[in-house]
Amino acid sequence: MTALHKKIFSTDFTDRFPGDDSGDRTPRQTPGMLYSKAEPTPVPQPRLIGWSEELAKDLDLDAPDEEDVKILAGNKLTESMYPYASSYAGHQFGTWAGQLGDGRAINLGELTSKKGIFELQLKGAGPTAYSRRADGRAVLRSSVREFLISEAMFHLGVPTTRALSLVATGEKVLRDMFYDGHPEYEPGAIVSRVAPSFLRFGNFELLAAQRDLPNLEKLAHWTIDRHHPHLSGENKILEWFKEIVQKTAFLMVEWQRVGFVHGVMNTDNMSILGLTIDYGPFSFMDNYDHQFTPNTTDLPGRRYAFGNQPSVAYWNLGKLANALSLLFEDLEPLEEALNSYEATFWNAYYGMMGKKLGLDRVNKEDKELISEFEKVLSEIQPDMTLFYRKLAEISSETDENVVFELFDPVFYREPDPSEKADFLSLIHKYKNRLRKNSIDRNTSAAIMNRNNPRIILRNYLLHQAIDELENGNQQFFNRLQEAMKSPYANEGFDDLVKKRPEWAEKKAGCSMLSCSS
């Protein structure tokens, strides 16, 4: 184990690609540059609030000392570091946005451990050349959300970037939370993010838009050599794209499994490694609603609603394919690779749903049953997380007269007679299917409880933790951090296992979020 300040070294990325070394953080276009040097802006009173012991262990890091906290706050650089911000582009809400880039993220360098090589990035450490009109800072509200959700998703088993630390800065940051002309000063904070790579679809889109074919090809080969070393030969860019398609499809299945809604699936927020990246106006679903979007900026179109996420991912992959097409003479294999997304997604989706329902296998009839579950749940809109955990208590012998009594705690409203009939019919069909299982119900229920979380990071819980932190109380924040380490546990943290309360239904920061969140 080693202290953080002794382990961070400049990245291979800055050694291999052209960048602006001037250190000028004036917002501007940087054609031909894949990054710009950007030193963090020091903060007045850094204070460590959160630390991921699990991630630190994976990175072979000791508990942070005073020098480490200075680095995590952006107040200190070592000689081995080369801080920079990446340039990339993207499609935002379906529209080409041109050059974007790391507006408030600064990559400090790389960490090498027994688990591999990881990049360490500070989010909220000050302006970069890509900050446009912003200040490059982050508020405590958004930083707490990103820190806790990053680690919560990891423990759920969903591919994600990680969060190592959360540091309060001791300064105030002006933010207009809902872009409605009512800015307020909020406490500032910085999250340190960790991933094998923070490359996005947008990195490749930018080079393609600039018609910079040499760097486009070079970046593709560098990414393959570094993160897909098993690929080789003249078709390795095609094989790499196929893997991106597969990983992205798998990621969408995992989001659907746990009821996660990203909220802003722009192409610049899509990881080239199939990781969940850039946590802003995210939310887990409370009531089961395919049209749910937590992002007020996404209204009224609901482009990034829960039920749309798989199709948006396919659309985004299409934009990545367009960028990479400049490296292909024959586009047909690339199109075939892109079109493999649908089969890959649905095969993985039905397999996932089979586990959520505790089935020994998934046949044609089971797919029809899964579709009926989707239809009925969308009508009645029970709490998604509580429903699937409660479903594991159903057996083929459960008396249908007690079904509604059993499921009553998961409903947000009383189903009408027609909905009740549909629900009872669905449970009856499910019981009949359980009778055909080749595994006993205890084994089946255990599979369900390993795939259906009991504890999720609900927005109203985050809201409570943020409120208490802003008032100097860290107890609930610590409790949430601990609870998120065991999302599938069958006991413990009972107070967190309940529906969204009525007070949170229209509460800002609970049901209403924005890209500023």
Place of tokens 């080749």: 438
Q: How far is CA 24 from its chain centroid?
A: 31
Round to whole Å and give the CA distance between 444 and 426. 18
Determine phi and psi for 75, rounding to 5 degrees: -95, -5
Q: What dihedral do alpha carbons 290, 292, 297, 302 form, nearest 10°? A: 20
- Can you name the residues that pair with 194 across neighbouring β-strands? 120, 162
Q: Are 100 and 201 in contact (CB under 8 A)?
A: no
- Buried b / exposed e along 31-64 (16+ C-beta atoms within 10 A): eebbbbbbbbbebeebebbbbbeebbebbebeeb
- How many other C-beta atoms are found inside a 10 Å radius of the C-beta of residue 441? 17
What CA–CA distances, in Å, run from 339 to 75, 167, 227, 268, 269?
A: 48, 44, 23, 21, 21
Q: Which two tokens stand for residue 329?
A: 């003479």
CB 111 within 8 A of CB 486: no
Detail the DSSP E strand segments found in 63-144: 84-86, 89-92, 95-99, 105-113, 116-123
Residue 268 annotated among the catalytic residues of the structure: yes
Quick check: 117 and 111 in contact, CB under 8 A?
Answer: yes
Spot the catalytic one: 20, 58, 212, 268. 268
Rounded Cα distance, 463 and 440, in Å: 41
Q: Which residue shows structure tokens 């396919």?
A: 314
DSSP secondary structure code for residue 37 in this structure: E
Best CA proximity match to 52, nearest among 161, 198, 183: 161
- State the CB neighbour count (10 A cutoff) for residue 471: 7
* Distances from the Cα of 194 to the Cα of 80, 150, 303, angstroms: 18, 10, 29
What's the order of all strands across the beta sheet hosting 47-51?
35-37, 84-86, 105-113, 116-123, 184-195, 162-175, 47-51
- Phi-psi category of 217—alpha, beta or left, where left has phi over 0 and alpha has psi -120 to 50? alpha
Neighbours of 89 (CB within 10 A): 26
Q: Which residue has the tokens 């860290």?
A: 474
Q: Which helix (H) or strand (E) holds 446?
A: helix 441-451
Active centre residues (catalytic): 268
